[in-house]
Chains A and B, each alone.
With several copies, the nearest count.
Chain A
Amino acid sequence: MPLTPAQIPEFINAISAAINQHADEITELDQAIGDGDHLFNLQRGLEALQSHAAEIAALDWPAAWQKIGMTVMAAIGGASGSLYATLFIGLSKHGKDKPTDMRTFAEALQAAVAAVKQRGKADVGEKTMLDVWVPAAETLARAASSGKDLNAILDQVCAAADAGVESTRDMLATKGRASFLGERSKGHIDAGAKTAQLMIAAIARHIRQAA
Chain B
Amino acid sequence: MKKFIDSPGTLLDTSLQGFAKAHADIVEVRTQPNFVLRKQRKTGKVALISGGGSGHEPLHAGFVGYGMLDAACPGQVFTSPTPDQMLEAAAAVDGGAGVLFIVKNYAGDVMNFEMAAEMLDGPSATVLVDDDVSLPKDHPIGRRGVAGTTIVEKILGAAAEQGYDLAACKALGERVVRATASMGVALTSCTVPALGHPTFELGADEIEIGVGIHGERGRETGKLLSASEIVGRIAGHIQQELNPPSGQAVLLHVNGFGATPLLELHLVYELAWQYWRERGLNIQRSLVGNFTTSLDMAGCSLTLSLLDDEMLGLWDAPVNTAALRWGC
Q: Is the CB of B141 within 8 A of A181?
A: no
CB distance from A133 to the nearest CB of B (A): 15
- Chain B 53-87 residues near chain A, CB threshold 8 A: 53, 75-84
Interface on chain A toward B: helix, strand, loop, or mixed SS?
Answer: helix
CB distance from A154 to the nearest CB of B (A): 30
Q: Is the CB of A73 within 8 A of B107?
A: no
Q: Is the CB of B84 within 8 A of A83?
A: no
Instruction: List the A side residues contacting B80 at CB < 8 Å.
Output: 77-79, 81-82
| Contacts known (A37-B77, A77-B112); A177 close to B106, Cβ less than 8 A | yes
Q: Is the CB of A177 within 8 A of B82?
A: no
Q: Is the CB of A83 within 8 A of B111?
A: yes
- Interchain CB contact (< 8 A) of B108 among A44, A79, A174, A182: A79
| Contacts known (A77-B112, A120-B111, A181-B219); A31 close to B195, Cβ less than 8 A | yes
Whether A35 is near chain B, meaning CB under 8 Å from some CB there, is yes
- Chain A 62-104 residues near chain B, CB threshold 8 A: 73-83, 85-86
- Interchain CB contact (< 8 A) of B112 among A44, A81, A179, A182: A81
Whether B194 is near chain A, meaning CB under 8 Å from some CB there, is yes
Alpha-carbon distance between A27 and B199 when the two chains are bound, in angstroms:
10
Q: Which residue of B lies closest to A182 (CB)?
A: B219
Q: Which residue of A lies closest to B221 (CB)?
A: A184
Whether B212 is near chain A, meaning CB under 8 Å from some CB there, is yes
Alpha-carbon distance between A89 and B302 when the two chains are bound, in angstroms:
42
Q: Is the CB of B141 within 8 A of A74?
A: no
Q: Is the CB of A34 within 8 A of B84?
A: no
Residues of A in contact (CB 8 Å), total 35
Instruction: List the A side residues contacting B199 at CB < 8 Å.
Output: 31, 35-36
Q: Which residue of B lies closest to A119 (CB)?
A: B111
Instruction: List the B side residues contacting A83 at CB < 8 Å.
Output: 111
Interface flags for A170-187 (1: CB within 8 Å of B; 0: not) read 000011110111101000
Interface flags for A1-44 (1: CB within 8 Å of B; 0: not) read 00000000000000000000000000100010011110011001
Interface flags for B124-138 (1: CB within 8 Å of A; 0: not) read 000000000001000
Alpha-carbon distance between A75 and B77 when the two chains are bound, in angstroms:
13
Q: Which residues of B contact A (CB under 8 A)?
A: 33, 53, 75-84, 106-108, 111-112, 114-115, 135, 139-141, 144, 192, 194-195, 199-200, 212, 214-217, 219
14 A-B pairs besides A37-B79, A181-B216 with CB distance below 8 A are A36-B195, A77-B75, A79-B106, A79-B111, A81-B79, A81-B80, A81-B108, A82-B83, A119-B114, A119-B115, A177-B106, A177-B107, A180-B144, A182-B219
